[in-house]
Amino acid sequence: MANYKIGDTRDLGACSACGNVIVIEAENGLFRPQRCGNPVKLADGNWLCGSCLRKLRIKYPQEYRLDTKQKKMLPYERAGELTAEEAERELGQIHDYLEDLREKYGFHQAVFSVEKADVKKGGLLKPSLYTVTGHVIYGTFTPLDEVSIGLNGGQKALISCLYYPHSITPVSDIQIQQVTGKLVIDYAWAEGGEEAAFIFREKSLNLKPGDIIVKD
**112, pLDDT greater than 80:** yes
What pTM does this model have?
0.84
Interval 152-164: pLDDT, tens: 878 999 998 888 8
Interval 17-40: pLDDT, tens: 998 887 766 554 444 444 456 789
Say what the pLDDT of residue 179 is: 56
Distance CA 199, CA 117 (A): 10
**92, pLDDT greater than 50:** yes
Output Rg (C-alpha) for the chain, integer angstroms.
18
**142, pLDDT greater than 70:** yes
Domain ranges of the chain: 11-104, 110-215
Interval 34-90: pLDDT, tens: 445 678 999 999 999 889 999 999 999 999 999 888 888 888 999 999 999 999 999
**3, pLDDT greater than 80:** no
Q: What is the percentage of the chain residues whose pLDDT exceeds 70? A: 81
- Which CA distances in Å does 142 have to 12, 101, 106, 176, 186? 30, 20, 20, 14, 12
Superfamily per CATH, domain 110-215:
Translation factors (2.40.30.10)
